Amino acid sequence: MTGGNGADVFTFANGDSTLSATTSDVITDFVAADDAIDLTTAGSGTNYVEAASAVATYADAASAAETALNGTVIYSFQFTATEGFLFVDTDGNGSANEVIRLTGVDDTGFSAADII
């Protein structure tokens, strides 16, 4: 997905993306504080965590997200050197159900406030 110039809202319903690195939805031009991702529940300091440092691979990101998700935390943002991954626990069972990939985004380019 590419939103173009200006503020964009990328809207997802439960099940719109997958948990696969190859078939998940990709946002190619996300800009923090301008753009937003619209999910079922807004991001907050309670339901969102993000990695403090990059991981090497998607598999490492998925593993770190699984550790972070716990039923209260339903969003986990992980990143590699080239892209970010927003893992989403849509059913609150402590395990990711889908992931949204953000090209060129790291922990400085995403926060809980970007999830509306």
Give the residue among 39, 13, 10, 38 at the shortest CA–CA distance from 103: 10
Tokens of 99: 């992931």
Whether pLDDT at 42 is above 80? yes
Q: Using one digit for the tens of pLDDT, what is the confidence trace for 13-27?
A: 888 888 988 899 999
How far is residue 89's CA from residue 62's CA, in Å, rounded to a whole number? 12
* Full set of structural domains in the chain with CATH: 9-114 (2.150.10.10)
* pTM for this entry: 0.94
Pure H helices in the chain: 58-68
Whether pLDDT at 1 is above 80? no
As a whole number, mean pLDDT of residues 92-100 equals: 97
What confidence score (pLDDT) does residue 77 get? 98
Whether pLDDT at 3 is above 90? no
What confidence score (pLDDT) does residue 82 get? 95
Measured on CA atoms in the order 44, 45, 49, 53, is the torsion positive or negative?
positive
What confidence score (pLDDT) does residue 62 get? 97
As a whole number, mean pLDDT of residues 49-66 equals: 97
What confidence score (pLDDT) does residue 76 get? 98
What confidence score (pLDDT) does residue 103 get? 95
